[in-house]
Amino acid sequence: MTTITEPSGRHAVRKPRRRGDRSPLASTGLHLTLIIASVIAVFPVLWVLLTSLKPAKFATTTDFFRETTFVNYTNLIKDTEFLSWFGNSVIIAGLSTVIGVFVSATTGYAVSRFRFPGKRGLMWTLLITQMFPVAVLIVPIYNIMSNIGLLNQPAGLVITYLTISVPFCAWMMKGFFDTIPREIDESGQVDGLTPFGTFWRLILPLAKPGLAVTAFYSFITAWGEVAYASAFMVGDENLTLAGGLQKFVNQYGAQWGPMTAASVLIAIPAALVFLFAQRHLVTGMSAGAVKG
């Protein structure tokens, strides 16, 4: 699986020549299929971007450009709670990520390196919690949050998101620790480090890229979470982005202007970081998933 990070040049050299020798017809077919697929993949996103630059009254026209303007953006920021939603999302997703990574780092290392009674059970628990539907926990967590007064509070949502991020981070970090050679642990022990010292001084610095990817992925998971956010947060200024965007489009009508502008502001930073990190991301996820 790690080959995906290799420079493709190395493959290119080893690849048999036949791969370049497609007939013109096959070549055209290949490009045509990929162009159609790419258009389908990109178009909805592009269309939202273009719409956000049109004045609201032209939002549903089919013209690609029509009186290009940033009025949707200025209105969004001036007239709505968009900035509070953005801030709420940043705080909630950020905190749950940091706490999640912090809490689960040692566990990822322990299940990667040690054999101990309960390890099998723990691994199974981590795996099974990944398939917990939101439906199993949402009612009890809602009731608990309501009892301790954390409903509609960012702290409540942070705690709730830990149920997602902690098992996920531990699972994914195990995959990253597995890729670090065990000789390093052994050398640490020769030098008289305790297992924890080995982890802290030698392994953790090496695992930084893995930690970053895990953190990033749990951040965007929390960033895009809908069910808990919709159920737990009410009132205009307490919403997260997922809840806020629903304000613009409901069964009574749609304000496409602010909706598209907000979509762009939410999507572009996430997309840029994602495209930057995705190679490592896939390696990490599949390492965790395939090697178990």
Partner 1 sequence: MAVHTSQSVAKAAGDDVARGRSRGTGNPPPPSRLRRALSVHWYAWTMVAPVVLVIGVIIGYPLVRGIWLSLTDANERNVARSIGVNEMPATYEFVGVDNYVDALTGTQFLGTLGWTLVWTVSCVAITFSLGMGLANMLNRRFAGRSAYRMALILPWAIPGFVSVFAWRFLYNEDRGLLNKILGGAGIDGIPWLNDPTWAKFSVIAVNVWLGIPFMMVALLGGLQSIPAEQYEAAEMDGATAWQRFRHITLPGLRPVSTTVILLSTIWTFNMFPVIFLLTRGGPGEATQILVTQAYKFSFEISPRDFAQSSTWGVLILVLLMLFAVVYRRVLRTQGDNW
**Footprint of partner 1 on residues 101-160 (CB under 8 A)?**
103-104, 106-107, 109-120, 122-123, 125-144, 146-147, 159-160
Please count the CA atoms within 13 angstroms of the CA of 123 that sit on its side-chain side: 18
Point out which span in 65-73, 75-83, 201-209, 217-225 binds partner 1 (CB under 8 A): 217-225
**What count of other Cβ atoms lies within 10 Å of the Cβ of residue 27?**
12
Point out which span in 13-21, 69-77, 78-86, 209-217 binds partner 1 (CB under 8 A): 13-21
Phi, psi of 249 (to 5 degrees): -130, 105
Taking CB under 8 A as the criterion, the residue among 66, 69, 230, 247 binding partner 1 is 230
Q: Is 69 in the site for partner 1 (CB under 8 A)?
A: no
Question: Are 232 and 145 contacting, i.e. CB atoms less than 8 angstroms apart?
Answer: yes
Region label for 105, one of left (φ > 0), alpha (ψ between -120 and 50) or beta (otherwise)? alpha
Q: How far is the CB of 208 from partner 1 (least distance, A)?
A: 19
Helix (H, G, I), strand (E, B) or coil at 254: strand
Point out which span in 38-46, 69-77, 79-87, 208-216 binds partner 1 (CB under 8 A): 38-46
Using CA atoms, how far apart are residues 189 and 7, in angstroms rounded to an integer? 35
Using CA atoms, how far apart are residues 281 and 217, in angstroms rounded to an integer? 8
Closest CA to 97 of 155, 170, 157, 158: 158
- Sign of the alpha-carbon torsion through 77, 78, 79, 81: positive
Q: Is 231 in the site for partner 1 (CB under 8 A)?
A: yes
Q: Is 195 in the site for partner 1 (CB under 8 A)?
A: yes
- Tell me whether residue 50 or residue 71 sits nearer to partner 1 (CB atom): 50
- Tell me whether residue 182 or residue 208 sits nearer to partner 1 (CB atom): 182
Q: Is 16 in the site for partner 1 (CB under 8 A)?
A: yes
Single-letter residue type at 290: V
What are the structure tokens assigned to 64, written together? Answer: 């690609």
Q: Is 290 in the site for partner 1 (CB under 8 A)?
A: yes
Point out which span in 64-72, 76-84, 191-199, 203-211 binds partner 1 (CB under 8 A): 191-199
Q: Is 12 in the site for partner 1 (CB under 8 A)?
A: yes
Phi, psi of 253 (to 5 degrees): 155, 180
Using CA atoms, how far apart are residues 92 and 125, in angstroms rounded to an integer? 25
Point out which span in 24-32, 76-84, 201-209, 210-218 binds partner 1 (CB under 8 A): 24-32
- Tell me whether residue 84 or residue 106 sits nearer to partner 1 (CB atom): 106
**Footprint of partner 1 on residues 71-100 (CB under 8 A)?**
none
Using CA atoms, how far apart are residues 189 and 134, in angstroms rounded to an integer? 43
Q: Is 189 in the site for partner 1 (CB under 8 A)?
A: yes
**Footprint of partner 1 on residues 242-261 (CB under 8 A)?**
242, 245-246, 248-249, 251, 254, 256, 259-260
Taking CB under 8 A as the criterion, the residue among 4, 83, 148, 184 binding partner 1 is 4
